[in-house]
Amino acid sequence: MNTKPNFVDSGFDEVTGESWVTVALNHQFYAGRSRISEEDKDKISKYAGCRFAEMKAEINALRDLRRKEKEKCDECKKFVKALECYKNFDKESKTARCVYRQLNRRIRNVNYLTELINRKREDFLIAINQRDIVVKAIDRKKAKES
């Protein structure tokens, strides 16, 4: 399962302070947008805006992948439940163990994607906080020099 989106395109509008990035994952395209806040208009950074937009696009791509994997997992759960309803279904047979293994594999994939999305969200918030710290440090240095 490929979980690493590939960068496709980016852009930045200096007038509005909006950045956008497109990434591709499994032959599908996902967009992310980021806009500069009013108080940071004097500290516009094309790089930071595009990085934030890229992080949002990656989260969107992973959410969609998780949704698709969850659908597959739910279908597999329904199938296993239907098999268990038969009175001559043997839970200990090799075939049954293969079915359970597939179900467990799908559940692990969904859980992995959920953890990955949560990590990406945390990284996004950390990146925003780090940018604020750097900007404040630069402002303090400029104030000392003048």
* pTM to 2 decimal places: 0.87
What pLDDT was estimated at residue 104?
97
Please give the average pLDDT of every successive group of 10 residues along the chain, which has 146 residues.
92 91 96 86 83 96 97 96 92 93 97 98 94 86 83
Which of 11, 6, 36, 35 has the alpha carbon at shortest distance from 21?
11
User: What are the residues whose beta carbons fall under 8 Å from the beta carbon of 63, sequence distance 6 or more?
Assistant: 117
What pLDDT was estimated at residue 141?
87
What pLDDT was estimated at residue 143?
86
